[in-house]
Chain A
Amino acid sequence: MPRSTALAAATTPPPPEPSPPPLRPLTAVGPDDVAPLAAGAAVFGTGGGGAVHTVRLSVGTAVAEHGPVPLVRVADLTADDVVINLSAMGAPSVGIEMLGAAAQARTLVHEVEQLVGRRVTTLMAAEIGGSNGVAPVGWAAQLGLQVLDADGMGRAFPQATMIAMNVAGLASEFAVMADVVGNVTVLRTRDIAWLERHARAFTVAAGGIALGAHYLLDHRTAPGAVIEGTVSRAVEVGRRLLGAADPVAEVADELGAAVLVAGKVIDIDRVTEGGFTRGSVTVQGVGPDRGRLLRVEIQNENLVVVEDGEVLVSVPDLVTVVDSETGEAISTEMLRFGQRVSVLAWACDPLWRTPRGIELAGPRAFGYDLDYVPFDGTAAVGA
């Protein structure tokens, strides 16, 4: 879960690059797809994005009750389609106690429709990584809407500006926020800094957690401004992970990821402040990797991997630590000494490799004094 909503307004539009086409697009998310979606979203969470256990229960319940949710590709959006981008914001410690209300998404969508005078047909996840990547499927089931097979990050990120629509130069004219009891606020702020401040104030008044909607998209603005195919991809990753004989190899193959090291966690240097986790984790190789030491730098998500003083991978490329036995992603707050883990790395969407993408979400955006070096790994990307 991002620390703040991605409520971004951009100023300098660079030419958007097309995202790679989805590999095996699904046409609907049914009851049997929810567990794989959650497991896959956790992998795309790159250590952050919020735990998927609780949201899997609500989405599973909604899909079982209302039936499969149609999943639509960007290319299949029609002139009648209106897409709204949704994400939760708030404190994880509140999120486990004051759980979400079915009416929240309904309130948001209704308010957006009042504002723009059009029917919203499609929901999209602001980030596919973690709980925010799973939740929109449940809301769509309840509201009878479809879900766009895309998201705003292709992973999880902690900050408002780090969203594909911002990279592509789109502006969000308004944002709407709703809390669990039905209070709703429309925000039209002067810029992103004011938006962050007002969204935070609303969230405090709401008891520490709120749902936000922003970035209205359609068939003209969505292409090139979102990361495509990520819902299908998360489901596919989850399918190959769950119940496989060698889940790590299956996940790596599906992602086109390199297994940087298979080893054990020998040091965790981690502090948590205001819902933000910072630090590093050190993994010592075992078996064929014996003698190797990798350090993963963390700020909510896994951002940089270093071995022998050399940077192997850096953000916005993706790094996920998985359980060597089960292949399941381990979030940064769940890392424990002695865990047997494998570190996977794979290339980010080309949109993030544009100059503006690197400016918004490269190593320097997180305070690292490093240039971004694209990771293409030992495994062929997209193979």
Chain B
Amino acid sequence: MSGRDLSVGIDVGGTNTDAVVLDADGTVLAWTKQATTEDVTGGVRAALAAVLRDLGPARDAVSRVMLGTTHATNAIVRRRDLGRVAVLRLGAPASTDFPSLVGWPSDLRDTVLAGALLAGGGHLVDGYPLSPLDLDGVRRFLDGLDRTGGGYDAVAVCGIFSPSFPEQELEVAALVAEHAGADLPVSLSHEVGELGLLERENATVLNAALHRVAGDVTRALLVAVADEGLDAATFFAQNDGTLMAVEYAARYPVLTIGSGPANSIRGAARLSGADAAVVVDVGGTTSDLGVLVDRFPRESTLPREIGGVRTNFRMPDVLSVALGGGTVVDLDRRVPLTDSVGHRIRTEGLLFGGGTPTLTDAAAAVRPGTVPGHDLPGLPRGTRDALAAALAVAHERVEAAVERMSLGRTDLPLVVVGGGGFLVPDAVAGAGEVLRPGRGDVANAVGAAIALAGGRADQLCDHADRDAAIAEASRQAVERAIQAGADPHAVEIVDVLETPVSYATRPTVRVAVKAAGPLARLSPTGTTSPRTSLLPS
């Protein structure tokens, strides 16, 4: 294979930073697992250096580096490095019953909220103004925050029906830039989420609070690539399994929050050779299931909680069940509990000389040698029977979860990855073949490396004009995907969503189109780097 067509995929997890190198056919040429470091950069640098060392002279053929990370999610869950956000909601007097950040865990709200204003503004569903936009009120509110000394690190703006009518949010962004300087990060809700005021506002506030975290991660990638002297375009993986530019990831970190599951699903499927599959990632505490359909993870539009905060942007449809290698077994009731010893299994599990019976012990009781080099101590017959019974219950729960995700298609293969994969039996009712690909432990990094370039566009139109509107939105989405680096010959429309708008004066429909395709192959001289031409998708 000639030309510069190697891709590096990096996955920054809470514990490990993994990296892989794939060639144009998707073959894994090199892989590594390194410890994630506090500053992120150290782990990314170590992982990148390790795979490049393995490549040797072929390293010059690396033209792209893609990074996927759960770093933003971890920052929210652990309440670390979050900025203080001034929240501006436009829409008074509507929504006064629902203060900003209502329903958040109080410690997270105290960490993040610098102050909130419900200002005049917003629209009705049909575009009629709810109330005049109160720019003076916004100015006074920001002055007040400045004066009281609390200050704020970022601003979130969320207007009622702004996904349909975004102009006021843009107007307020301009005012904030004028007031506090263009460097102050401003997150606009119409760029973050869909209809559903509280969930979209929550996502926008989280996005604003993650500004510093996003800066750390994007800098880590750029620094590591520069240190290695690579002439490579850099990308971030986002929630829908497509890529975004580094500058965009720095502004919209919340859109990377679902990239972990998206990469896991796509990477595991690629490693197994399946085009459509149910994927289960069995960890120490949970098993996470997702589905690959038409090359993309099936998405869910149901509200989803992140660190106890309800949000509504499109995320992979993932079902988490409390079953993992460290799941504790109740010997009296002969069932798995929802508790897990997690990573402490290496001291607490029976196999490792501890006193807590786990599902790993149950698997070893039924099939000795499950964990090479470790054997169970002599156990009473009753204990072994109870472990076996609990493992059978775990198998039933896996089958129920697979059935729920497959939506009745019993022919889809089941791809098993993760350290607790032995909990999944070799035959699962409700699924086709059970596949256990090699290198399943770096599936996330593989998923990042094979992510596609995508573009989205939407149009609001009269119902009678919907064909023309879909055509126009499709044209824009394809154009944006190509701008994002997609191969013009391979880009295609992958999703068309139509939503009728009720209670409007004329029958109205909103069409949303998504286009995606593999990144264009680069010439040997690497002149078509899309690094600076990426548009928000």
Chain B residues near A102: list those with CB within 8 A: 96-97
Does B366 belong to the interface (CB within 8 Å)?
Answer: no
Whether B502 contacts A181 by the Cβ 8 Å rule is no
Q: How far is the CA of A94 from the CA of B95 in the complex (A)?
A: 12
Partner of A337, one of B97, B102, B400, B407: B407
Taking CB atoms and an 8 Å cut-off, the chain A residues in 27-68 that contact chain B are: 53-54, 57-58, 61-62
Whether B98 contacts A54 by the Cβ 8 Å rule is yes
Partner of A99, one of B97, B103, B125: B97
Q: How far is the CA of A42 from the CA of B98 in the complex (A)?
A: 20
Chain A residues near B97: list those with CB within 8 A: 58, 61-62, 99-102, 138
Whether B125 contacts A98 by the Cβ 8 Å rule is yes
Q: How far is the CA of A370 from the CA of B274 in the complex (A)?
A: 50
Whether B131 contacts A181 by the Cβ 8 Å rule is yes
Chain A residues near B128: list those with CB within 8 A: 207
Produce 1/0 per residue, B380-420, CB < 8 A to A: 00000000000000000000100111111000000000000
Whether A100 contacts B95 by the Cβ 8 Å rule is yes
B512 to chain A, nearest CB (A): 15
Whether B124 contacts A207 by the Cβ 8 Å rule is yes
Whether B126 contacts A207 by the Cβ 8 Å rule is yes
Name which of A53, A101, A266, A336 has the most chain B CB atoms within 10 A of its CB: A101
Does B91 belong to the interface (CB within 8 Å)?
Answer: yes
Whether A180 contacts B503 by the Cβ 8 Å rule is no
Whether B94 contacts A181 by the Cβ 8 Å rule is yes
Chain A residues near B505: list those with CB within 8 A: 204
Which segment of B51-59, B140-148, B193-201 sits at the interface?
A: B193-201
Whether A61 contacts B96 by the Cβ 8 Å rule is no
Q: Number of residue pairs across A and B with beta carbons under 8 Å?
A: 109
Whether A207 contacts B91 by the Cβ 8 Å rule is no
Whether B125 contacts A57 by the Cβ 8 Å rule is no
Taking CB atoms and an 8 Å cut-off, the chain B residues in 104-147 that contact chain A are: 122, 124-126, 128, 130-131
For chain A, the count of residues having a C-beta within 8 Å of the partner chain is 37
Chain A residues near B408: list those with CB within 8 A: 266, 337-338
Taking CB atoms and an 8 Å cut-off, the chain B residues in 241-265 that contact chain A are: none
Does B160 belong to the interface (CB within 8 Å)?
Answer: yes
Does A340 belong to the interface (CB within 8 Å)?
Answer: yes
Whether A54 contacts B198 by the Cβ 8 Å rule is yes
Whether A93 contacts B103 by the Cβ 8 Å rule is no
Produce 1/0 per residue, A96-110, CB < 8 A to B: 111111110000000
Q: How far is the CA of A138 from the CA of B102 in the complex (A)?
A: 15
Chain B residues near A98: list those with CB within 8 A: 91, 94-95, 122, 124-125, 130, 160-161, 197
Chain B residues near A182: list those with CB within 8 A: 93
User: Which residue on chain B has the smallest CB distance to residue A51?
Assistant: B303
> Do A338 and B404 contact each other (CB < 8 Å), given the known contacts A94-B125, A98-B160, A208-B503?
yes
User: Which residue on chain B has the smallest CB distance to residue A208?
Assistant: B503
Whether B95 contacts A264 by the Cβ 8 Å rule is no
Chain B residues near A90: list those with CB within 8 A: 503
Chain A residues near B91: list those with CB within 8 A: 98
Q: How far is the CA of A304 from the CA of B220 in the complex (A)?
A: 60
B222 to chain A, nearest CB (A): 38
Chain A residues near B131: list those with CB within 8 A: 181
Q: How far is the CA of A91 from the CA of B198 in the complex (A)?
A: 17
Chain A residues near B99: list those with CB within 8 A: 61
Q: How far is the CA of A102 from the CA of B198 in the complex (A)?
A: 16
Does A355 belong to the interface (CB within 8 Å)?
Answer: no
Chain B residues near A103: list those with CB within 8 A: 93, 96
Q: How far is the CA of A182 from the CA of B103 in the complex (A)?
A: 26
Does A203 belong to the interface (CB within 8 Å)?
Answer: yes
5 pairs, CB–CB < 8 Å, chain A vs chain B = A54-B98, A181-B94, A207-B125, A337-B407, A338-B403
Instruction: Pick the 10 closest A-B CB pairs, nearest first.
Output: A338-B404, A207-B124, A208-B503, A180-B94, A99-B95, A58-B97, A102-B96, A91-B502, A96-B196, A337-B407
Known contacts A180-B130, A207-B126; can you find 14 more A-B pairs with CB under 8 A? A58-B102, A61-B97, A61-B98, A93-B195, A93-B502, A98-B94, A100-B98, A101-B93, A138-B97, A182-B93, A203-B503, A204-B503, A338-B405, A339-B404
List chain B positions with a Cβ less than 8 A from chain A. Answer: 91, 93-99, 102-103, 122, 124-126, 128, 130-131, 160-161, 195-198, 302-303, 310, 400, 403-408, 501-503, 505
